[in-house]
A = this chain, B = another copy of it.
Amino acid sequence: MGSDAAANVTRELARYLVSARPQDIPATVKKEVSRTLLNWVGVAVGGSGHETVTRALEAVTPFAGAAQAQIAGRTERLDIMNATLINGISSHVLDFDDTHLKTIIHASSAIVPPTLALAEYLPAISGVKFLHALTLGIETAFRVGNSVYPDHYDIGWHITGTAGSIGAAVAAATLLGLNEQQMIWALGLGASQQVGLRESFGSMNKSFNPGRAGQNGLLAALLAARNFTSSDQMIEAKRGWANTVSRKQDFREITSDLGTRFEAALNTYKPFACGIVIHPTIDGCIQLRNRHRLEAGSIARIELRVHPLVLELTGKRTPKSGLEGKFSVYHAAAVAIIEGRAGPRQFTDDAVSAPAAIALREKVTVVPDSAIKESQADVTITLANGERRRVMIVDAIGSVANPMSDNALEAKAADLMQGILPDARARAAIAVCRDIAHTPQASDLATLLRR
């Protein structure tokens, strides 16, 4: 980039953020962000009982402040800063949150918790304001992520934590009503706090990253609101954010078409509680099962032609734990046919050791084929009687080209909340998300998420 083009990235972005009004955001974008919120509600409540969450909660409770904000899916209330950490961990721990496929950013687990905590803490935050803050925060995270992707991710950053800190700062700053200079400082302080390395994958540290990112952004915005200063050019300066965390910088991704092009509209949701590379396979297995009313006992062989990455990332033949099950295309195909779904309950320790699942996964053959795209799978099932059923998945369910329907998203959220919140309350929470722009008090959502 020429130095002129890069001279005022932080300021240009801040100027847009403080001038954008809710009525300027296209309805389709608002709709997608309300779907992001709905998906977050499901995963945050669904993950709230996980040991990762419990351990973090035990660690922070002794020094937490007043009961300002609800922990989703639990009884505890903590100060806004600590609530943000715990809700961020809950919402990422199932690996079932939203995904911006261009950058692999899972925005909601970093950005919703601080925004919802602030909506409880500040007086009179309407659903319109709340949705607007989320929209600008997510939009910012995706744009700054685009500017450094893929190099930033390739070298080792867990981009959800890094871009998430900046997005969370923007969402919190928007609710706090910061002016342009303060928004510049919030961006600077948010960009100063980078959390998350990919080496954390497979440990509790992974869920910590978006939780901490939410805190980073919230603290950045609260400091900026008190005129705690930062650089005016933290994103673009020579020793600022983009140049330090990446060898690639494309600042047009941040500043071009602000207000007309919306990355937030490209968010997607996983229909299945495992790595996205197996989704086309699961989609194909469920389609064949439902279309032909297949039962496991009548199946002789399952053949999958898939992108080579599938075996590389999820080639575990005999998973020993629920977590390993998420990295087994064999197990995923088996449970998809047996149960017709692949939610968190299909990836527990019990699920991978169930005799029916073990028997069926041994009938699965996987053929890597570089002619098959990542979003595709070619599934052929041979029955005991020799008949064959086949489906070619071109765009798996949950992709940008083939998004989950509103009904499917609501069913996913309800399924995740089942057994944790009373059904009536879970339904009410879903209804608030569906109609967030007409909710007078955004904090009502937090109240509904109390166990």
- Please give the residue numbers on chain A whose beta carbons come within 8 Å of chain B beta carbons, in ascending order: 52, 55-56, 58-60, 63-66, 68, 79-81, 121, 155-157, 161, 185, 188-189, 191-200, 202-205, 208-209, 212, 219, 222-223, 225-231, 233-234, 237-241, 243-244
Q: How far is the CA of A238 from the CA of B194 in the complex (A)?
A: 18
Task: Name the residue in A59, A66, A202 with the highest tally of chain B Cβ atoms < 10 Å from its Cβ.
Answer: A59
Q: How far is the CA of A195 from the CA of B193 in the complex (A)?
A: 4
Contact B191 A204 (CB under 8 A): no
Which chain B residues lie closer than 8 Å to A230 at the CB level?
200, 203-205
Contact B59 A79 (CB under 8 A): no
Which chain B residues lie closer than 8 Å to A52 at the CB level?
228
A324 nearest CB across to chain B (Å): 16
Contact B231 A203 (CB under 8 A): yes
Contact B198 A239 (CB under 8 A): yes
Which chain B residues lie closer than 8 Å to A65 at the CB level?
63-65, 79
Q: Can you tell how many copies of this chain the complex includes?
A: 2
Contact A229 B209 (CB under 8 A): no
Contact B60 A197 (CB under 8 A): no
Q: How far is the CA of A209 from the CA of B192 in the complex (A)?
A: 8
Which chain B residues lie closer than 8 Å to A212 at the CB level?
192-193, 219
Which chain B residues lie closer than 8 Å to A155 at the CB level?
239, 243-244
Contact B231 A55 (CB under 8 A): no
Contact B157 A223 (CB under 8 A): no
Q: How far is the CA of A153 from the CA of B195 in the complex (A)?
A: 18
CB within 8 A of A237: which of B68, B80, B199, B241?
A: B199
In the A-B complex, the 9 residue pairs with the closest CB atoms: A156-B244, A156-B239, A199-B240, A198-B239, A205-B230, A63-B79, A199-B237, A65-B65, A55-B226
Shortest Cβ distance from A207 into B: residue: B228
Q: How far is the CA of A346 from the CA of B193 in the complex (A)?
A: 33
CB within 8 A of A238: which of B156, B243, B244?
A: B156
Contact B194 A195 (CB under 8 A): yes
Contact B208 A223 (CB under 8 A): yes
**A63-B81, A205-B188 given as contacts; is B228 within 8 A of A56 (CB)?**
yes
Task: Name the residue in A63, A81, A222, A226 with the highest tally of chain B Cβ atoms < 10 Å from its Cβ.
Answer: A63
CB within 8 A of A228: which of B191, B208, B225?
A: B208
